[in-house]
C-alpha cells in the first residue's frame, strides 16, 4: 500500500525528516510512536502531501505522491485523515460535514450521500446528532464525526494524527473503540499515538521515530517486550 | 432663534439635493458591490501560493505579484489623485470617439457627454474600495484556522472548492463589520468626485452655496444627511456584530 524511500523534509534550514524508509502492506495497521518533535506528524502529513517533501519517493497505492505531475486531489480523496484537533467545519452540521466531500468531490447525489452519512453516524454511535453543529458536541463526539467524515470517501488508507490527545480522559475510550473497530474491519491505517495500550492491542507493527528517523520497526511484542535499540528502550521506560 | 438659518435655500434647491443624494447612494452601492467582487479576487490573489508543480510560477507572476502591486498602489496614493487620474487619463483612453480602446465612435461621444463623470467616479471609487476590501478579505481568510484548510484539502477538495465552501463562508462572518465600515468610508469619500463635476450631494451643496454666497446652510444640511446615513450604517454593523458574536 505504501512505500517510502529516502524521504527528506526540511522546514527552512532545519531537517525534520532524515532519510525515512519503510513499507506498509495492505490492511496493515501501523502505529507510529516517538518523542515530541521527532517528526511523526510531519511524516504522516507527507503521505497525503499536506507537506511537500524535498527529497525521496513516496508511493501510496498507485499514486506517486512526490511526483509533481500527480493529481493530489485524487490522491487525497483516497486517503482519509483524522486530526488531533478534529477540524470539523464549524458552519456545517455533523451530517453536512460528512456529506461535503462525497457530494463535491465524488459528485454523489445529495440523497445518496446523506443516506451513507447516516449509516456512518450510526456506526460511530451518533445517529441522534446528525443536525448538531460541532460546537454543540463534546470532543469525543466531534472526533467520531471527524472519523465518519473521513470514512465517507471510502478511503483505502486512513491516517490518524494523535486522534485522542486533545480529548478529556473520559472520552478517549469511545474514540479508540471506533478506531479499533475499523482496524478489525480490515482497513490500512497509520496511527500516530501516545496511547501505548492501544498500540499494543491493535496494531500489527510499531514504528519508533526519533530525531527525524524511524529508529526501530517491529511487532508490538518486539517493541514493547524487548526493543533492541537503546533510544527506543529509554523512551518506553519513560512513558510506560 | 434659528432665523439666521435660511431654510429657503434648501427648499429652493431641494430637487438638486435629492438628485445629489440619489447619485451619492448609487456611487456607494456600486463601489461596495464591485469593490467586494474585485476585492475578493485581489485578496485571494495576494496570498495565492502554489508550492510545487507547473502552476507555481504562473500563479506567482500573474496573480500574486499583480494583486500585491494593485493593492499597494491604491492604498498608497490619495483617492483624490486616483479620481483625477482615472477621469482625465484612463477613461479617455478607454472611451474616445477616435481611438478608444474599449468604445469608439458616436456612442463613445454620447456616453462621455451624458455619463462621463459618473463612469469615472464609479470606476475610481470601485477600484479604490477593491484595494481596501481585498485587505479585509485577506485578513479574514488568514484569521481562519489552518486546520480548516487542511481538513478540506485532505478530503480531496481542490483549492477553489475549499475557498468557496469552507474558508470564505467562515471568513465572511468576521468580515461583515469591517465591510460595513468600508461602506461608510466609501459613502464619505464619494464626496470627492464632485471635483470632476459629478452632481452628487457635495456638488449640490456647492451649487446652492455659489448661487447665494451662503455656506452654512447647504454644507450643514448635507453634513446632516451624511451623518444620518453613516449612523444608520454603523448601527447596522453593530447589529451584525452582535448577531455573529453568538454563532
Ligand atoms: N510548519 C512548520 N514550520 C517549521 N517547523 C515545523 C513545522 N511543523 C513542524 N515543525 C518542526 O518539525 C519538527 C517535527 O515536528 P512534528 O510536528 O512532525 O513532530 P511530532 O513528532 O509530531 O511531535 P508531537 O508529538 O509534539 O506532535 C519539530 O521540531 C517542529 O518544531
Ligand atoms: Mg504531532
Which atom of ligand 1 is least distant from the CA of A12? 4
Q: Does B152 touch chain A (CB under 8 A)?
A: yes
Does the beta-carbon distance from A76 to B148 stay under 8 Å?
Answer: no
The CA A172 to ligand 1 mean position distance, Å, reads 23
**pLDDT reported for residue B245:** 66
CA distance B130 to chain A (A): 27
**How high is the pLDDT of residue B238?**
87
A209 Cα to the center of ligand 1, angstroms? 13
Predicted pLDDT at B150: 96
User: Which residues does chain B have within 8 Å of residue A143's beta carbon, measured at their own beta carbons?
Assistant: none
**What ipTM goes with this model?**
0.93
A117 within 8 A of A130, measured Cβ to Cβ: yes
Conformational region of residue A60, where left means phi above 0, alpha means psi within -120 to 50, and beta covers everything else: beta
pLDDT at B246: 54
Residue of A73, A133, A135, A143 to mutate for B, most B C-beta atoms under 10 A? A73
Q: Distance (Å) from the C-alpha of residue B140 to the closest C-alpha of chain A?
A: 15
Closest residue by CA, ligand 1 atom 22: A41
DSSP B87: I
**CA–CA distance from B82 to each of A39, A108, A219, B192 (Å)?**
52, 49, 70, 10
DSSP for A59-78 reads EETTEETT-TTS-HHHHHHT
- Measured between beta carbons, the chain B residues lying within 8 angstroms of A150 are 155
| Cβ atoms B233, B240 nearer than 8 A | no
Choosing from A40, A166, A231 the residue with most ligand 1 atoms within 8 A of its CB, the one to mutate for a pocket test is A40
3-class DSSP state of B49: coil
Counting as low any pLDDT under 70, the low residues of chain A are: none
Distance from CA of B53 to the nearest CA of A (A): 5
| Spatial distance between the Cα atoms of B158 and B149, rounded to a whole number of angstroms | 10
Local structure of B74: helix, strand or coil: helix
Segment B12-18 shows an average pLDDT of 93
Q: How far is the CA of A16 from the centre of ligand 2 (A)?
A: 12
B89-130, pLDDT tens digit by residue? 999 999 888 888 888 888 888 888 888 899 999 999 999 999
Distance A212 CA to ligand 2 centre (A): 12
Q: How far is the CA of A12 from the centre of ligand 1 (A)?
A: 12
Residues B243, B174: Cα–Cα separation, whole Å:
11
Of the partner residues A74, A104, A149, the one whose CB lies closest to the CB of residue B161:
A104
Q: What is the pLDDT of residue A68?
A: 86
In this structure, the residue with its CA closest to atom 12 of ligand 1 is A16
Q: Which of B52, B148, B165 sits opposite A68 (nearest CB)?
A: B52
Q: Measure CB to CB from residue B166 to each of A76, A89, A105 and give the nearest one.
A: A89
- B46 close to B71: Cβ distance less than 8 angstroms: yes
Residue list, ligand 1 pocket, CB within 6 Å: A 11, 16, 34, 36-42
Mutate to test the interface with A, among B151, B162, B246 (most CBs of A within 10 A): B151
| pLDDT at residue B2 in the model | 60
The bridge status of strand A2-11 relative to strand A55-60 is antiparallel
- Residue B177 pLDDT > 70: yes
Window A:38-97, CB contacts with B under 8 Å: 48, 50, 52, 68-69, 73-74, 76-81, 83, 85, 87-91
Cβ atoms within 10 Å of A65's Cβ, excluding its own: 23
Residue B243 has pLDDT above 90, yes or no: no
Q: What is the pLDDT of residue B121?
A: 96
pLDDT digits (tens, 9 = 90+) for A108-121: 999 999 999 999 99
Which residue is closest to A101 within chain B, CA to CA?
B155
pLDDT band at residue B226, thresholds of 50, 70 and 90?
A: very high
Q: Which residues contact B234 (CB under 8 A, 6 or more apart)?
A: B180, B184
Distance B148 CA to ligand 1 centre (A): 18
Q: In DSSP terms, which residues pair with A210 in a beta bridge? A: A213
User: B150 CB near a chain A CB, below 8 Å?
Assistant: yes
- Out of B150, B156, B165, name the one closest to residue A153 (CB): B156
Task: For an interface test with B, give the residue of A47, A71, A87 to mutate (most B CBs within 10 A).
Answer: A87
- Averaged pLDDT of chain B: 92
Q: Which residues of B touch A68 (CB under 8 A)?
A: 52-54
Between CA B68 and CA A63 the distance in angstroms is 36
Q: What is the pLDDT of residues B50-82, one digit of tens each?
A: 877 788 899 999 999 999 999 999 999 999 999
Q: At what angle do helices B105-142 and B168-189 cross, to 10 degrees?
A: 130
Amino acid at each position: 500500500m505504501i512505500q517510502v524511500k529516502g524521504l527528506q523534509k526540511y522546514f527552512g534550514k532545519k531537517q525534520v525528516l532524515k532519510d525515512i524508509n519503510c513499507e506498509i502492506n495492505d490492511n496493515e495497521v501501523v502505529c507510529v510512536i516517538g518523542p515530541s518533535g521527532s517528526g511523526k506528524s510531519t511524516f504522516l502529513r507527507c503521505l497525503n502531501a499536506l507537506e511537500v517533501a524535498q527529497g525521496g519517493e513516496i508511493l501510496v497505492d498507485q499514486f506517486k505522491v512526490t511526483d509533481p505531475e500527480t493529481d493530489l486531489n485524487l490522491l487525497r480523496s483516497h486517503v482519509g485523515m483524522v486530526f488531533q484537533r478534529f477540524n470539523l467545519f464549524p458552519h456545517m452540521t455533523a451530517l453536512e460535514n460528512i456529506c461535503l466531500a462525497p457530494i463535491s468531490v465524488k459528485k454523489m447525489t445529495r440523497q445518496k450521500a446523506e443516506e451513507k452519512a447516516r449509516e456512518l453516524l450510526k456506526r460511530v454511535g451518533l445517529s441522534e446528532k446528525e443536525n448538531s453543529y460541532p460546537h454543540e458536541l463534546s470532543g469525543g463526539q466531534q472526533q467520531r464525526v471527524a472519523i465518519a467524515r473521513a470514512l465517507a470517501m471510502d478511503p483505502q488508507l486512513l491516517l490518524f494524527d494523535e486522534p485522542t490527545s486533545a480529548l478529556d480522559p473520559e472520552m478517549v475510550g469511545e474514540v479508540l473503540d471506533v478506531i479499533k473497530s475499523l482496524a478489525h474491519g480490515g482497513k490500512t491505517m497509520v496511527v500516530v499515538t501516545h496511547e501505548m495500550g492501544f498500540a499494543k492491542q491493535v496494531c500489527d507493527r510499531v514504528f519508533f521515530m526519533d530525531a527525524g528517523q524511524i529508529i526501530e520497526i517491529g511487532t508490538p511484542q518486539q517493541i514493547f517486550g524487548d526493543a533492541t535499540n537503546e533510544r527506543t528502550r529509554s523512551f518506553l521506560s519513560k512513558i510506560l | 432663534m434659528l432665523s439666521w438659518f435660511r431654510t429657503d435655500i434648501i427648499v429652493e434647491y431641494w430637487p438638486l439635493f435629492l438628485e445629489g443624494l440619489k447619485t451619492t447612494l448609487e456611487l456607494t452601492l456600486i463601489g461596495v458591490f464591485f469593490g467586494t467582487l474585485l476585492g475578493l479576487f485581489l485578496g485571494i490573489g495576494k496570498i495565492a501560493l502554489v508550492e510545487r508543480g507547473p502552476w507555481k510560477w504562473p500563479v506567482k507572476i500573474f496573480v500574486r505579484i499583480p494583486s500585491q502591486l494593485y493593492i499597494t498602489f491604491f492604498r498608497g496614493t490619495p483617492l483624490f489623485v486616483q479620481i483625477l487620474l482615472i477621469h482625465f487619463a484612463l477613461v479617455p483612453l478607454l472611451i474616445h470617439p477616435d481611438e478608444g480602446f474599449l468604445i469608439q465612435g458616436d456612442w463613445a461621444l454620447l456616453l462621455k457627454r451624458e455619463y462621463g463623470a459618473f463612469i469615472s467616479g464609479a470606476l475610481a471609487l470601485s477600484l479604490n474600495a477593491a484595494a481596501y476590501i481585498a485587505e479585509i478579505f485577506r485578513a479574514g481568510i488568514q484569521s481562519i484556522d489552518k486546520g480548516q484548510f487542511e481538513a478540506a484539502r485532505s478530503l480531496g477538495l481542490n483549492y477553489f472548492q475549499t475557498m468557496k465552501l469552507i474558508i470564505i463562508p467562515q471568513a465572511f462572518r468576521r468580515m461583515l463589520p469591517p465591510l460595513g465600515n468600508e461602506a461608510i468610508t466609501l459613502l464619505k469619500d464619494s464626496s470627492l468626485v464632485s471635483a470632476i463635476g459629478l452632481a452628487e450631494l457635495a456638488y449640490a451643496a456647492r451649487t446652492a452655496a455659489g448661487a447665494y454666497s451662503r455656506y452654512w446652510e447647504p454644507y450643514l444640511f448635507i453634513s446632516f444627511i451624511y451623518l444620518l446615513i453613516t449612523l444608520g450604517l454603523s448601527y447596522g454593523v453593530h447589529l451584525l456584530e452582535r448577531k455573529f458574536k453568538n454563532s
